[in-house]
Structure 1
Amino acid sequence: MLLIFLQVSMLLSTCINAGSHCHDSSFKPNHILRVTMGNLSIGCGTTRQSHLINGTSPGPEIRLTPGKISWIRVYNDMPSDNLTMHWHGLSQRMAPFSDGTPHTLQWPIPPMHFFDYEVFPGGDDAGTYFYHSHVGFQAVTVSGPLIVEDEGKPPYQYHDERVIELTDFFYKTDKNIAAGLLANPFVWSGETHGVLLNGQGVTDVVQASGNYCALPTFDLLPGKTYRFRFIGSTALSLVSLQIEGHNLTVIAADARYTQAHVTDYLQIGTGQRFDLKDLKRTTFFMKYQTKDRPPVYTGYAVFRYNSCQMFSASPAPGISIILPNNLSSGNFPSANKVTRRLTMTFRPEGSPTGHIRWYENNLGYTEYSSPRPLLPDVYLYGESAVPNYTLALENEGCDPEFKAWPAMIGEVLEIVIENTGSEVAGNGGLDIHPFHAHAGHYYDIGSGNGTYNATENEVRLAGYSPVLRDTTYLYKYEAATGNGTDASWRAWRIRVTDAGAYLIHCHILQHMIMGMQTAWVFGNATEIQKIPLAEASGYLTYGGSAYGNQSYDPIVYHYYEDTPDEPWLR
């Protein structure tokens, strides 16, 4: 091991491979994000100490062009906190160390350092995404819209668009929330104190006070057709929304176009994105409300064609909108040949002193589970750092030593996620969980009550057209069941095509911190090691040469190269 680190350290001083494109101090990134600590202020003077991006939350909108390499420089301007940035929904078939997950693909960005992320969306990636930190509870405020433009004309025509990012507001700080979730005894974060739209909103405390406060407002031009990009960047809340006097036409889900689907309401949870079009009227209200958690938060927003009109609420305008309780899972894809079916059973467990963790198949996985990220270790130690496939087959698909799930390139996995009754306090309680895959979009093959039945679900799949998603909900159909009893399921099919290390996890930040995550390794070491060790060396240690600071510039090898015609993958 010492020899490996000595060899790596000799490679950290300069670009060494003349045949590769490498950048240093002269390089100019396409986008710059700077994360700092500051006071976040929302309507009516409510403030909270928060992590901010370029001084705001949400952060600035980033737009990318398909087929074009973009470099996004992320500065960690915080004196004591680590940081990463994840490009939610963009599969890391892209640059190997640019996914932004600190416990799988990269070492986090140390305090007062910066990192250059290489992002290269393809033509089929056009759509609505967002970026966010993947460290602790930072993503509650460290997030922002990420849009991949269409190549040519989109399948649905519109004149203009509006991006609407939903976020939660908590009075507790990020560090206090994270510390409480990991504490012994456990301390819950509390429920959301407000759902904000693009950082605007009215907290429950202000609503209860009876004070008037400006509503989130979106200005429109008469006679125009708009595309509305809704981004679910909440930490906890599943939000149901309805627009006064309007049906909603859904044209995309999780950055994939769908057949136009008309509905009278939309339900959006953390990690999900939906695109709507065709809202036409003079002025109208939108009501939005959290679901399946007590207490219910209710908020309002205004879409207006006359910018002179002003609206405020105490606590809400007098409009009547009834929000449904459940959203249909939509159209499911037809079945593909499955090589392996894996069942992940999630449940919380508590200790006699009150310590609570989430476990999947009796294993918990957090950003603290391993002292080193998986991908750098595969580069340093080769096949010995890859989970044992044979051992995993004997243990429900997971190598218990690595706490990771291996898969071979070419497999088609059917992944079943089971919701079981909680064993904490012996109450059999149930929760809802939005599950997100970093390994790319998957075929969502439905959800249901009780235990998954493959034969019955195959009948349900007959005749459906494929729908690709990256975040879908594991629902609950009752408040509680027997301890450890299967209560509901969600099922996916994933084609294993891109070698690397990935996360599949619940996107509720509290649950992630408490262990509701799984690490996956696709392919063997040779397939994963896509770039030479010399060029990967700056990524393999904490604060390595790929991470710059005020004293020195990073040395970054380009995974993609520009040619006169098109980028190419080495």
Structure 2
Amino acid sequence: MVVFDLSSRLSFYICALLSAFAISTHAKLAYHGKEFVPDYVLRGTARYVPIACEMRYSVLLNGTSPGPTLRFREGRTTWIRVYNDMIDAELTVHWHGLTQRTAPFSDGAPLVSQWPIPPGHFFDYEVRPDIGDAGTYFYHSHVGFQAVTAVGALIVEDARPAPYQYHADRIFQFGDYFNKTDNIITNGLLSKTTGKFIWSGETNALLLNGKSGTKAARETRGWSTCAPEIIRVKPGRTYRFRFIGATALSFVTMGIESHPEMTIIEADGRYTQPYTTTHIQIASGQRFSTLFKAKPLHEVIASGKTHYWIQFENRERPGSVTGYALLVYDIPLRHGHTRPFRLPATLPYQKPLSLPQKVTDWLEYALQPVWSHYTEQLPPTHSVTRTIHITAYQVKTHTVEWAQNGLIWQEHKLKTPYLVDIYNRGEASIPHFHNAIRDNTYDPETMIFPARIGEVIDIVWHNNNGPSGTWDFHPFHAHGGHFWDLGSGNGTYDARRNDEYMAKNNYFPVLRDTTMVHRYAKDGVPYTSAGWRAWRVHVKYPGVWMMHCHILQHMVMGMQTVWMFGTPTQIKAEVDRPYVKGYLKYGGSAYGNSTYDPLVNEWFD
């Protein structure tokens, strides 16, 4: 049972405040030699592996895709050593949803917060989730198109009793399969192959925990990657199903045969009040948890059925793709054994579920926080210092790119990571900081959107159909902290009307880090804006952070923005220059290799 009384809220605020004091930071340099034992080790390699019963040259973490599930704990520092064992590619790892809990240079955004890890080197990432961060996350490479396979689940476990009880959890990590290599896709998107833009093509298969479910297990001839994934449960138990949107492109809808109810209890690493739904809808970058109550034993036995189809499909793309998994009940026998399970000989001849086609209203203005596990009140509208409107649209030049207010992210033009440049040049690294804030725009020299520490800003993303006249959907993701999701709608944004709607419905938004800018029509008059998403951001964490569409193709095509929270002086005050020297050069002393140990700034107490 969830309790929403004032005393529980007050006690949690006090707990969070004490935690903030406990997690004080300091500058401490240490060699990470043989005596240093990281909590986890991830090794990045590239080779041909079977995916969806085809062979694809892919970047892997610890030899598999998805990579291993990592489990952190609130209030505890975790060290992850990431080796780049590739000989011809760089690597980083981004801790999706936990950016603000990383040490400086540990966000994993290349040429923004750190130099990428060179071939033959390794880097020690330091992450410390705070009290209130318990939930579902994932980690992935932030280089090029690598995240299509270099990805894995990340769970932050509660340091105190959770507001919901369950027997165990199960991970549902959705992904995409493309039968082109990362390099072929990125070169085509950047017009490097023929001088002309070449689209990646649509996804060839959806994946659930690395399996496409496009053939029955008996039809795979020993290839398991196109067989249905099997999710096992025991009768009468309650499970936490953790859904992770690790797709490159696909917007996924899924449901479970003969199980019409799931109760959402978490979104993007924040507990929510219970909300019942018949299906899950998840885009790239998003995460949800649901409570799933398995059928009681007598009901399973009476039905004579111990397995049910899990059906997942994509939405809002030209091609329709469907995959299947199996929910299997383990029926207990004597001496701790379970009844043997016989896999179905074929996939369903007809789809067992009719999943909704409409996607624009699912969970909108629905999820609200669990007060006993909430750390900060929504800043009222009168405290908002600025509203920044950002319109996203395609630009056609010699290629096809995505722009935000005319700004196109072009990583290849950057010579130095933004955070490194701040330590090297200080205030000169963003010469138009104050003018950009005054004009609600970005610095024209550095292409950075600046914000002052303590500001409360509303960011409104607008969906424009550009020169082609066709709209697309965009799951926008924020590094540097969660935001309050103020909702979305068709047409243009009206702040007063939106405030009135939330007040009328007594709606208090939950903190999120990835939400959708929908499309409400396929096409229309070119250069028309129709569709918006509004965020409220309390600027608290000094640093350089990205906000971007999480569709990998769109990221490569320029749909990324960079934000500076705080002045360069405030950012540099987080840790003195002598303690960051090894991070300021490509392959610097903070990056180890086979010949020397890294000299690392140990950030958290």
TM-score, normalised with respect to structure 1? 0.90
CA contact (8 A) 1:332 1:461 kept: no
CA contact (8 A) 1:91 1:441 kept: no
Q: Which residue of 2 aligns with 1:320?
A: 352
**Within the alignment, does 1:461 sit opposite 2:502 as a pair?**
yes
**Within the alignment, does 1:346 sit opposite 2:392 as a pair?**
yes
Distance in structure 2 (CA, Å) of the matches to 1:387 and 1:111: 34
Q: Which residue of 2 aligns with 1:479?
A: 522
Counterpart residue type for residue 57 of structure 2? Q
Q: Which residue of 2 aligns with 1:133?
A: 141
Counterpart residue type for residue 445 of structure 1? L
Q: Which residue of 2 aligns with 1:218?
A: 231
Counterpart residue type for residue 388 of structure 2? L
Q: Which residue of 2 aligns with 1:412?
A: 456
- Identify which of 268, 271, 278 aligns with 2:282: 268
**Within the alignment, does 1:330 sit opposite 2:338 as a pair?**
no
After superposition, the Cα gap between the structure-2 partners of 1:378 and 1:220, relative to the gap in structure 1 and judged at 3 Å, is same
CA contact (8 A) 1:366 1:516 kept: no
CA contact (8 A) 1:503 1:519 kept: yes
Quick one: percent identity of the two aligned structures? Answer: 47
SS at match of 1:171: coil
Counterpart residue type for residue 50 of structure 1? S
Distance in structure 2 (CA, Å) of the matches to 1:309 and 1:317: 21
Counterpart residue type for residue 46 of structure 2? M
**Within the alignment, does 1:33 sit opposite 2:42 as a pair?**
yes
- Identify which of 418, 421, 436 aligns with 1:377: 421
**Within the alignment, does 1:493 sit opposite 2:504 as a pair?**
no
Following TM superposition, by how much is the alpha carbon of 1:481 offset from its aligned partner in structure 2, in angstroms?
2.1
Q: Which residue of 1 aligns with 2:245?
A: 232
**Within the alignment, does 1:297 sit opposite 2:343 as a pair?**
no
Counterpart residue type for residue 131 of structure 2? G
Equivalent runs, 1:12-27 vs 2, <5 Å: 20-25=28-33, 26-27=35-36
Distance in structure 2 (CA, Å) of the matches to 1:187 and 1:395: 37
CA contact (8 A) 1:450 1:489 kept: yes
Distance in structure 2 (CA, Å) of the matches to 1:387 and 1:165: 43
After superposition, the Cα gap between the structure-2 partners of 1:310 and 1:383, relative to the gap in structure 1 and judged at 3 Å, is farther
Per-residue CA deviations over 1:56-107 (Å, capped at 9, x if unaligned) read 0000011011111111000000001011000000132531111000021000
Counterpart residue type for residue 308 of structure 1? P
Distance in structure 2 (CA, Å) of the matches to 1:469 and 1:330: 13
CA contact (8 A) 1:435 1:473 kept: yes
**Within the alignment, does 1:286 sit opposite 2:321 as a pair?**
no
Per-residue CA deviations over 1:409-433 (Å, capped at 9, x if unaligned) read 111010000000121xxx3110000
Per-residue CA deviations over 1:476-522 (Å, capped at 9, x if unaligned) read 00001222111110000000011100000000000000000000001
Equivalent runs, 1:66-465 vs 2, <5 Å: 66-183=74-191, 184-202=195-213, 214-246=227-259, 247-281=261-295, 282-306=306-330, 308-312=340-344, 316-324=348-356, 325-326=358-359, 327-331=362-366, 335-336=380-381, 337-351=383-397, 353=398, 355-386=399-430, 388-393=432-437, 396-423=440-467, 427-462=468-503, 463-465=506-508
Per-residue CA deviations over 1:80-137 (Å, capped at 9, x if unaligned) read 1011000000132531111000021000000110000000111111000000000000
CA contact (8 A) 1:201 1:215 kept: yes
Counterpart residue type for residue 363 of structure 2? S
Following TM superposition, by how much is the alpha carbon of 1:330 offset from its aligned partner in structure 2, in angstroms?
3.3
RMSD (CA atoms): 1.9
Q: Name stretches of at least 5 consecutive residues in structure 2 with no aligned partner.
A: 1-25, 296-305, 331-338, 369-377
Following TM superposition, by how much is the alpha carbon of 1:42 offset from its aligned partner in structure 2, in angstroms?
3.4
Distance in structure 1 (CA, Å) of the matches to 2:351 and 2:428: 62
Runs of 4+ that moved beyond 6 A: none
- Comparing 88-97 with 431-440, greater Cα deviation is found at 88-97
Distance in structure 2 (CA, Å) of the matches to 1:450 and 1:309: 52
Counterpart residue type for residue 217 of structure 1? I
Counterpart residue type for residue 444 of structure 2? P
Following TM superposition, by how much is the alpha carbon of 1:552 offset from its aligned partner in structure 2, in angstroms?
1.1
CA contact (8 A) 2:174 2:246 kept: yes
After superposition, the Cα gap between the structure-2 partners of 1:245 and 1:387, relative to the gap in structure 1 and judged at 3 Å, is farther
Counterpart residue type for residue 103 of structure 1? L
CA contact (8 A) 1:299 1:316 kept: no
TM-score, normalised with respect to structure 2? 0.85
Distance in structure 1 (CA, Å) of the matches to 2:213 and 2:277: 27
